[in-house]
C-alpha cells in the first residue's frame, strides 16, 4: 500500500531558528513529490520535486529529494512567526492516480 | 475565476440529512480531486476525475458518498444520510494534467461540514 510518513508530527521553535522537516514515502511508480503549506484554509503549493539531488529554493525555504532512500526534506532558515503552519508532503505515483498525502508537520514559531 | 472556488464555505446539517458540496475548478484544469481533512489529520483522498476517463472512486468511505463532474468542469460531492463522523473540511483541488501528470494541485478553501 502506498504511503507517506512525515516527521516530526509537531515542532516548536523560536524565531530565527532553522528547521528541517522530513518526508519518507513508499509508492508504486513514483513520479513526483510535492510540499504544501497549510495555514487556515487551502494548502498552498511550495515545491514539486522529481529528480534526486537537485535542490529547489524559494527565499528561506528549500527542499531536496533522495529517490534512492525514498525521502525528502524541507528546510526553513531564519524562521519567522509567519512560517507557523502545517507542512504537508504528498507524492504522485502511478499515472492517473491521485496525490497521496502525509499527515503533516505542525510548525509553531514563537517570537 | 482565478482559483478553485468551493461552496458553501460552511455547512451545518442534522444527522440523517443529505448535503451537496460544490467545486468550481480553475478554468482549463482537466483533473479534479476531492479530499477530506478531519481535525488534526492529513488529507484523505476521496475521488479523482481526469478528463473524460472514469473517475477513481477508490477513496470514498461508503456508498453514502458520491460525486459527479458535469461537462468536465464543476463537480458536486453528495453525502447522503449524513453521520456525525462525516464532520470534516472537504477540500477540492484541480490541476492542469499534461502527459507527464506532474502538475501541482491548486486547492480551494474548502467546505467545513458539521453534522449535529
Can you tell me the distance from the alpha carbon of B28 to that of B76, in angstroms, rounded to the nearest whole number? 18
Can you tell me the mean pLDDT for B72-81?
94
Retrieve residue A5's grid coordinates: 510518513
Please report the pLDDT score of residue A95 as a whole number: 62
- Secondary structure in 3-state letters for chain A: CCEEEEECCEEEEECCCCEEEEEEEECCCCCEEEEEEECCCCCEEEEEECCCCCCEEECCEEEEEECCCCEEEEEECCCCHHHCEEEEEEEECCCCCCCEECCCEEEEEEC
Number of domains in chain A: 1
pLDDT band at B68 (very low <50, low <70, confident <90, very high): very high
Please report the pLDDT score of residue B46 as a whole number: 95
Tell me, yes or no, if A75 comes closer than 8 A to chain B by beta carbon.
no
Q: Which domain holds residue A33?
A: 1-49+79-106
| CATH number of residue A5's parent domain | 2.60.40.10
Whether residue A98 and residue B59 make contact (CB cut-off 8 A), yes or no, is yes
**Exposure of B46 in the CB half-sphere (CA atoms within 13 A):** 28
Identify whether A61 is part of a domain. Answer: no
Please report the pLDDT score of residue B85 as a whole number: 94
Identify whether B113 is part of a domain. Answer: no
Number of domains in chain B: 1
Q: Which domain holds residue B86?
A: 5-108
Whether residue B48 and residue A34 make contact (CB cut-off 8 A), yes or no, is no
Identify whether B59 is part of a domain. Answer: yes
Please report the pLDDT score of residue B99 as a whole number: 44
Of B48, B102, B104, the CB nearest to A98: B48
Q: Which residue of B has its CA nearest to A50?
A: B102
Check pLDDT > 70 for residue A63.
Answer: yes
Check pLDDT > 70 for residue A73.
Answer: yes
Tell me, yes or no, if A48 comes closer than 8 A to chain B by beta carbon.
yes
Check pLDDT > 90 for residue B104.
Answer: no
Please report the pLDDT score of residue B101 as a whole number: 55
A15: left (phi over 0), alpha (psi -120 to 50) or beta: beta
| CATH number of residue B96's parent domain | 2.60.40.10
Higher pLDDT, A1 or B92: B92
Whether residue A95 and residue B101 make contact (CB cut-off 8 A), yes or no, is yes
The one-character DSSP state at B58 is: T
**B91: which chain A residues are within 8 Å (Cβ-Cβ)?**
42-43
**B109: which chain A residues are within 8 Å (Cβ-Cβ)?**
41-42
Higher pLDDT, B80 or B70: B80
**A36: which chain B residues are within 8 Å (Cβ-Cβ)?**
107
Whether residue B43 and residue A90 make contact (CB cut-off 8 A), yes or no, is yes
Identify whether B114 is part of a domain. Answer: no
Check pLDDT > 70 for residue A64.
Answer: yes
pLDDT digit string (tens) for B41-55? 788 999 999 888 889
Please report the pLDDT score of residue B70 as a whole number: 84
Can you tell me the distance from the alpha carbon of B8 to that of B109, in angstroms, rounded to the nearest whole number? 10
The DSSP code sequence of B11-39 is EEE-TT--EEEEEE--TT--EEEEEEE-T
**Sequence-ordered list of residues with C-beta below 8 angstroms from that of B11, at least 6 positions apart, any chain:** B19, B21, B111, B112, B113, B114
Can you tell me the mean pLDDT for B68-79?
92
| CB B73 within 8 Å of CB A8 | no
Identify whether B82 is part of a domain. Answer: yes
pLDDT digit string (tens) for A12-43? 999 999 999 999 999 888 888 999 999 988 89
**Exposure of B31 in the CB half-sphere (CA atoms within 13 A):** 22
Amino acid at each position: 500500500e502506498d504511503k507517506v510518513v512525515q516527521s516530526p508530527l509537531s515542532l516548536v521553535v523560536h524565531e530565527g531558528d532553522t528547521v528541517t522537516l522530513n518526508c519518507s514515502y513508499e509508492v508504486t511508480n513514483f513520479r513526483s513529490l510535492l510540499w504544501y503549506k497549510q495555514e487556515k484554509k487551502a494548502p498552498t503549493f511550495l515545491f514539486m520535486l522529481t529528480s534526486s539531488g537537485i535542490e529547489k529554493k524559494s527565499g528561506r525555504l528549500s527542499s531536496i529529494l533522495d529517490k534512492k532512500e525514498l525521502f525528502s526534506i524541507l528546510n526553513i532558515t531564519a524562521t519567522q512567526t509567519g512560517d507557523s503552519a502545517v507542512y504537508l508532503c504528498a507524492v504522485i505515483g502511478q499515472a492517473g492516480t491521485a496525490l497521496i498525502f502525509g499527515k503533516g508537520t505542525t510548525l509553531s514559531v514563537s517570537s | 475565476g482565478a482559483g478553485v472556488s468551493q461552496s458553501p464555505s460552511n455547512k451545518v446539517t442534522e444527522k440523517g440529512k443529505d448535503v451537496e458540496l460544490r467545486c468550481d475548478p480553475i478554468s482549463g484544469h482537466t483533473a479534479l480531486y476531492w479530499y477530506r481533512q478531519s481535525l488534526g489529520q492529513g488529507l484523505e483522498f476521496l475521488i479523482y476525475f481526469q478528463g473524460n476517463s472514469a473517475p477513481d472512486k477508490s477513496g470514498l468511505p461508503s456508498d453514502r458518498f458520491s460525486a459527479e463532474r458535469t461537462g468536465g468542469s464543476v463537480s458536486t460531492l453528495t453525502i447522503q444520510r449524513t453521520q456525525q463522523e462525516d464532520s470534516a473540511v472537504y477540500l477540492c483541488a484541480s490541476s492542469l494534467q499534461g502527459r507527464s501528470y506532474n502538475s501541482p494541485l491548486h486547492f480551494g478553501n474548502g467546505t467545513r461540514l458539521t453534522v449535529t
